[in-house]
Amino acid sequence: MSTKQAQLAMVIDSSMCIDCKGCMASCKIANDSPEGQWRNWVKHSVPDFTARFPKIHFQPGGCMHCDNPTCVQACPTGATYKDKKDGTVHIDSSLCIGCGNCIPACPYDARFRNILTKKADKCNFCAERREQGLMPACVDTCPTKARVFGDINDPESEASRLLAKNADRLVRVVNAKTDTKPNMIYLGETAPLNWPVEAKMPTAMVALTSVVNPLVRTVVGLSGIGVAVMLVRQLIAGSGSEDDVHDESGTDSQNKGGDA
């Protein structure tokens, strides 16, 4: 067993994906996502119709549970955080104020404001199922076993062995300007590649970190100040202006980056 801190990750051979959308349906049921909103998706490449045998490539995706999550940096209350025990990125709904800062801060458009709770929502690798010793719903449901889930820092895990076996053909889909070091890792010639966007960090938070007196930050805490700023913004601008509702089709429309 490795002594490294655990890092749960999804290793995906997207060449095995048949776009059945079983992963999306099972995720929606397991996590009770609102109608019209999805925690995961299946993107697709644009086939080259000039080729003799045009082919299309399907690419499952969701929250990447990044090593360097920009969504954590954008959250003013600490509601979004990276779990030190297993490396996953979580949302503490009791701390979330629904400001929406984290939504454009994610290069993968993997977050949305839940239309029922009015708070941030996303894939959490089915934390409730994992507590019961089960795999994430999308992994259990996939008929071709395109997804492999586990601790990639544990050399004995199936996910870790798969990475080692395919070390020369690993692909992390990233935006060149915002490489968050995602932990959804693809094998082989996955496509599309150019859909992640540059993370948009909230102006209020950037300004806050540069102008607030260091002593004040130490005594009061940046998160507390951030909450006050966000509440004032909401009172002035009103709520609901930044709602990101994922299209009911559940394929690509929720991802700002679009297809290749």
Q: Which domains does the chain have, with CATH numbers?
A: 8-46+53-237 (3.30.70.20)
Q: What is the pLDDT of residue 240?
A: 46
Q: What is the pLDDT of residue 49?
A: 78
Per-residue pLDDT of the chain (260 residues), as tens digits, is 456 799 999 999 999 999 999 999 999 999 999 999 999 999 999 988 788 888 899 999 999 999 999 999 999 999 999 999 999 999 999 999 999 999 999 999 999 999 999 999 999 999 999 999 999 999 999 999 999 999 999 999 999 999 999 999 999 999 999 999 999 999 988 999 999 999 999 876 665 555 544 444 444 445 555 555 555 455 544 544 444 444 444 445 444 334 43
Entry field: residues in the chain: 260
Alpha-carbon distance 178 to 244, whole Å?
A: 21
CA angle centred on 128, ends 107 and 78, rounded to 5°: 45
Tokens of 126: 């089915």
Q: Of the candidates 44, 2, 9, which has an alpha carbon nearest to the alpha carbon of residue 148?
A: 9
Q: How many CB atoms lie within 10 A of CB 127?
A: 14
Q: What is the pLDDT of residue 4?
A: 76
